[in-house]
Amino acid sequence: MIMAFLNPAAFYLLGIIPVLIALHFLKLRRQRYVVPSMMLWRASAEDQKANVPFQRLRNILLPIIQCLLLLLIITGVARPALRIPGIIQGKIIYIVDNSASMLSRELGETRLVHAKNEVLNHIDQVSADGGMMVMVTHAPSSYIQQIFTTDKEKLRTAVDSIQPTHKGGGLTSVIDNALRYVDTPQDQIYYITDSPENIPVTSVPITIITVGDEAKNIGIVKFRAERIAAQYHVFAAIQNWTDTEQVVATQLELEGGISIDKKITSIPSGKVENVLFNINAEERLDGVAISLHLVDVEDDFEIDNRTWTILNAKNQYRILLVSNRNLSFLDLLLESYGEHVEIQKVSTDEYHGTGDADIVIFDREIYKEQGQFNINPSQGVVYINWQDELPFLKDSSVEVINTPVRVIKENITHPIMQDVSLMNIQIKESVRRKLPLWGVPLVETEKGSIVWIGENVGNQYLVFEFDAFNPEFSPLSTTIPDGPLLIYQCLAWLESGTLPVRSIDRQTDNTGQYFQTGEQLHFELSGEDTSTFRVQKPDGTLVELGSDVFTDTDQIGVYSILDEDLIFERFAVNLLDPNESTLPYFSTESPEIGKETESLQPITQQVWQWVVLFAVGLLICEWWFYHRQ
């Protein structure tokens, strides 16, 4: 309960009290007279003192009682009231957004601090019969900061302990988790965020409270380092979200702060500009971390001002092509994929197993003993126009379509299909197959998927359900640049499976070992005991590695995988999320934003009547005391 005054202006009347005290000291004094004797008066005075035991205190108690009486009258006019938290018949769930954009610093504090204050204010004003729970949008293990409780001290402690992260997006999981605890229509969910967009539609209304003010930002939104021949090419894209053109200096450094190069770029308001650095690929740079950062940029968001990567030379990439045909287009694409590629081509008669190849490509079905189709762990496999049951997919229905089909759908969300479009191309002959549950279609016709991928038991599979490299049956080889780009991006996806650290969420060619915050990573530990491995985060925190999957990528910077005290591998994590760097600001509230339900309004109980009653009692006492003889 909190004491409040509904008419605090009444306290200006306290200025009357000094006047009352002054009048007491200025009251009329009796005059002195000379008399011949006080014998008779002294006896009378003794009787009066006996009847009035507090005579000595009379002169000081009266002004004290009068001042106290005046204070009570003024307090009653100020209308004191008790604010009692509103009570609802249900549960309350608070979800606090602790994503990267909540670290934007405005008005001296981060948005996350403002969000915490909003929750603390609610906790002070509200009580729920079923208790209240605090959750966050990003956490290493559990979203729950505090389970349901009516202990407000525990709730305040949970809110104060919410830690910021550098992750972005990913609201659906925490909302689904919160909905599991909603049992009755009286239960309520509150989401405190700076970005109320893209809230999933749920059966339970979500009250959104927005925080944040206008912010300015300049940040790195794209970053890539790639070795080509004898040089590393470091590319970055920088976006300006301010209202004016900005001149930005970008500096490339080796770890330890050793400067490599510096460039100055002018970026118009709302635009993106690219910068490119070239570094000679010296052997001493292998495994070294480099960082690109914006120099002396004054903005409200520092997380996207720096990026990291590890300079790793590409390992030899061995491709085994099993084919009886001369596929010149495919041969050319494989050879041009990179200098690190080593191609071995054998006929079906010469094929006796996958050996140590990183990728095995089967051009049409071949008939060998089953053991020769066994795939080694982490090997990638490509099947082209395999018109029979796939070796890894038994008891699946297979149908050869001899009539032309047309591409009607593409999986544009997958990295392989980025900047690729095969819509409306016509395939003369294809195969229709029932996909496994783990299969992901990339290109589909009205008859089914003709290009699909999947990962199962540590192996990656890419299947072309048509003769992709025969111009008589498919125009893929003559579709420029989409055809070659599709093949290159398929090879990059397959190559990512051979890397020591790879993303489970976005599998692309990433020899620089840099990822985005929030990505789940798979470590290739080659059967090692994971109990001896730990991951050192950028802030020095050590995380025990219980399995070969690592999910705690909540900080930007360089991570180290340690086998006891030795570095096993290193990788970098960056933000690179334009949605977080935009720093949304909502100056006005929509009907759904900031909406409070009546049940959450605190109850105001006025108590001025009790003050007045006490003042009347005090007045009676003062009258009795003054007139007592």
- What pLDDT score was predicted for residue 190? 93
The model's confidence at residue 204, banded by pLDDT at 50, 70 and 90, is: confident
The model's confidence at residue 590, banded by pLDDT at 50, 70 and 90, is: very low
- What pLDDT score was predicted for residue 191? 93
- Gyration radius (Cα) of the chain, Å: 39
The model's confidence at residue 444, banded by pLDDT at 50, 70 and 90, is: very high
Q: Which residues pair with 344 in a beta bridge?
A: 320
- What pLDDT score was predicted for residue 18? 83
The answer to whether the pTM exceeds 0.85 is no
- What pLDDT score was predicted for residue 54? 46
For 289-323, how does the pLDDT look when each residue is reduced to its tens digit (9 = 90+)? Answer: 999 999 999 899 999 999 999 987 677 889 999 99
- What pLDDT score was predicted for residue 307? 96
- What pLDDT score was predicted for residue 315? 75
Residues in the chain: 629
- What pLDDT score was predicted for residue 45? 62
Task: Give me the helices (H) in 78-219, please.
Answer: 111-125, 152-160, 172-179
Distance of alpha carbon 422 from alpha carbon 390, whole angstroms: 25
DSSP-derived letter for residue 232 is E
Residue 596 pLDDT > 50: no
| Higher-scoring residue by pLDDT: 490, 197 | 490
DSSP-derived letter for residue 297 is -
Distance of alpha carbon 363 from alpha carbon 491, whole angstroms: 16
Judge if the upstream peptide bond of residue 481 is cis by omega within 30 degrees of 0: yes
Q: What is the mean pLDDT of residues 579-606?
A: 58
Matching residue, tokens 């910068």: 275
| Higher-scoring residue by pLDDT: 287, 62 | 287
DSSP-derived letter for residue 499 is S
Contact indicator for 342, 619 with CB cutoff of 8 Å: no
Give percent above pLDDT 70 in the chain. 86
Q: Which residues pair with 233 in a beta bridge?
A: 226, 278
| Higher-scoring residue by pLDDT: 251, 127 | 251
Coil, strand, or helix at residue 336? helix
Q: What is the mean pLDDT of residues 232-250?
A: 94
Residue 179 pLDDT > 70: yes
**Residue closest to 436 by CA, chosen among 447, 427, 449, 446:** 449
Matching residue, tokens 């405190």: 192
Backbone angles phi, psi at 477, to 5 degrees: -70, -20
Task: Give me the helices (H) in 225-274, please.
Answer: none
The model's confidence at residue 218, banded by pLDDT at 50, 70 and 90, is: very high
Distance of alpha carbon 89 from alpha carbon 55, whole angstroms: 60
- What pLDDT score was predicted for residue 367? 66
- What pLDDT score was predicted for residue 513? 65
Q: What is the mean pLDDT of residues 309-338?
A: 87
- What pLDDT score was predicted for residue 322? 92
Q: What is the rounded average pLDDT for all residues in the chain?
A: 84
Residue 24 pLDDT > 80: no
Q: Which domains does the chain have, with CATH numbers?
A: 2-30+54-83+607-627 (no CATH), 86-214+584-601 (3.40.50.410), 224-305 (2.60.40.10), 317-496 (3.40.50.880), 501-574 (2.60.40)
Residue 28 pLDDT > 60: no
Residue 593 pLDDT > 50: no
Distance of alpha carbon 434 from alpha carbon 428, whole angstroms: 20
Q: What is the mean pLDDT of residues 282-287?
A: 82
Cβ contacts of residue 67 below 8 Å, gap of 6+?
17, 20, 21
- What pLDDT score was predicted for residue 527? 61
The model's confidence at residue 462, banded by pLDDT at 50, 70 and 90, is: very high
- What pLDDT score was predicted for residue 589? 46
Contact indicator for 307, 277 with CB cutoff of 8 Å: no
- What pLDDT score was predicted for residue 453? 95
| Higher-scoring residue by pLDDT: 43, 194 | 194
For 92-123, how does the pLDDT look when each residue is reduced to its tens digit (9 = 90+)? Answer: 999 999 999 999 998 789 999 999 999 999 89
- What pLDDT score was predicted for residue 84? 59
How many whole angstroms from its chain centre is CA 46? Answer: 86
Residue 524 pLDDT > 50: yes
Other beta carbons within 10 Å of 498: 18
The model's confidence at residue 571, banded by pLDDT at 50, 70 and 90, is: very high
